């Protein structure tokens, strides 16, 4: 594999912030905050294969380096070339109650657009100069709607509390705290692909044709059926690109609930210990992966797995329990 490196162009990121805030009220014990947050990245680093076919139907003969050197292998150049932006409305509400309950809610409505999915080998899926503009689309990590609600509740038992504040009562019931985090997230964008046999333009991605004006969401998983109406898409059999763009589809959303129970013990004046019992994805709700997007696959449109639970899909794990002790001094 040959790598070409040209003079690297500088990349920069600009972040904009417009904020509206309402401070804490003596009556409401709450704080409200709404803001616009946006960013733009220019000349992000990515690879570009300069030896891809430039014309539909040209095959290897359409590769720029084939005519000169008979070369058909990828020839990647790494440089600052991608542009992306992010726009969002972010709203938060914090509310503290006199009973020992604290609530924190957050909602984000956003849109992220880029030209290539970031990774160890960030590169375009359409590399020919004539179709490179097709790469600009919603980002793979674009999640338009995100909602989270967290709470902390100190149970009203023990020293300084309303109930069970006698010696025996506070020994057994004092110091307990319940914590929780509920999250609901929209699905991620994903790409539809198809066989490039008729296109015959090596190094460029083929997509299917969308043959119906709207794609119905069926919402089925596994053997029950497909996530969307697969008859809305057809294979391309002509020497041209399909009309489906990059990341036009949206996968299943995620609903998750984490819960924990803490109890704090005072061992000495300066030494304390906390017992922790934590449950992640308490309801063991499946967090499904995106459907198969290959129009030529027999599993096209089917969801056959869950999210990995690692990396960027950390929320995808099945139910887990964790117990621990924390010593403070």
The confidence score (pLDDT) of residue 268 equals: 81
pLDDT single digits (tens) 133-158 = 999 999 999 999 999 999 999 888 76
Q: Average pLDDT of the chain?
A: 86
In this predicted structure, the answer to whether residue 112 has a pLDDT above a threshold of 70 is yes
Confidence of residue 12 (pLDDT cuts 50, 70, 90): low
Of residues 167 and 199, more confidence is placed in 199
pTM: predicted TM-score of the whole model, two decimal places: 0.81
Mean per-residue pLDDT, 45-57: 93
In this predicted structure, the answer to whether residue 18 has a pLDDT above a threshold of 70 is no
pLDDT single digits (tens) 296-328 = 999 999 999 988 655 445 555 788 999 999 888
SS (HEC) of the chain: CEEEECCCCCCEEEEEEEEEEECCCCCCCEEEEEEEEEEEEEEEEEEEECCCCCCCCCHHHHCHHHHHHCCCCCEEEEEEEEEEEEEEEEEEEEEECCCCEEEEEEEEEEEEEECCCCCCCCECCCCCHHHHHHHCEECCCCCCEEEEEEEEEECCECCCCCECCCHHHHHHHCCEEEEEEEEEECCCEECCECCCCCCCCCCCCCCCEECCCCCCECCCCHHHCCCECHHHEECCCCCCCCCCCCCCEECCCEEEEEEEEEEEEECCCCCEEEEEEEEECCCCCCCECCCCCECCCCCCCCCCCECCCCHHHHHHCCCEEEEEEEEEC
In this predicted structure, the answer to whether residue 107 has a pLDDT above a threshold of 80 is yes
Confidence of residue 276 (pLDDT cuts 50, 70, 90): very high
In this predicted structure, the answer to whether residue 4 has a pLDDT above a threshold of 50 is no
The confidence score (pLDDT) of residue 129 equals: 92
The confidence score (pLDDT) of residue 169 equals: 63
pLDDT single digits (tens) 279-289 = 999 999 999 99
pLDDT single digits (tens) 190-209 = 999 999 999 999 999 999 99
In this predicted structure, the answer to whether residue 175 has a pLDDT above a threshold of 90 is no
Of residues 77 and 1, more confidence is placed in 77
């Amino acid at each position: 594999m040959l790598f070409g490196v040209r003079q690297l162009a500088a990349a920069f990121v600009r972040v904009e912030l417009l904020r509206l805030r309402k401070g804490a009220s003596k009556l409401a014990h709450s704080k409200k905050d709404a803001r616009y947050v946006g960013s733009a990245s220019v000349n992000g680093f990515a690879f570009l294969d300069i030896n891809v076919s430039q014309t539909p139907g040209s095959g290897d003969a359409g590769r720029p380096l084939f005519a000169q050197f008979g070369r058909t292998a990828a020839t990647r150049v790494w440089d600052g070339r991608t542009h992306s932006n992010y726009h969002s409305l972010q709203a938060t509400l914090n509310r503290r109650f006199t009973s020992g309950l604290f609530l924190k809610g957050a909602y984000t409505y956003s849109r992220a657009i880029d030209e290539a999915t970031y990774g160890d080998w960030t590169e375009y899926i359409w590399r020919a100069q004539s179709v490179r503009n097709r790469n600009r689309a919603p980002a793979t990590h674009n999640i338009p709607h995100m909602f989270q609600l967290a709470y902390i509740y100190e149970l009203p038992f023990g020293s300084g509390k309303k109930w069970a504040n006698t010696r025996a009562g506070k020994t057994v019931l004092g110091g307990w705290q319940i914590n929780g985090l509920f999250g609901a997230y929209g699905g991620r964008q994903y790409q539809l692909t198809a066989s490039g046999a008729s296109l015959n333009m090596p190094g460029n991605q083929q997509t299917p044709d969308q043959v119906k004006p709207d794609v119905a969401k069926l919402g089925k998983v596994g053997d029950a059926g497909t996530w969307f109406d697969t008859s809305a898409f057809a294979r391309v059999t002509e020497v041209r690109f399909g009309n489906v763009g990059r990341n036009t589809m949206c996968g299943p959303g995620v609903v998750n609930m984490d819960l924990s129970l803490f109890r704090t013990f005072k061992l000495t004046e300066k030494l304390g210990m906390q017992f922790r019992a934590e449950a992640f994805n308490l309801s063991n709700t499946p967090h499904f992966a995106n459907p198969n997007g290959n129009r030529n696959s027999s599993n096209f449109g089917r969801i056959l797995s869950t999210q990995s639970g690692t990396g960027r899909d950390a929320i995808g794990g099945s139910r887990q329990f964790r117990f621990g002790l924390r010593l403070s001094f």
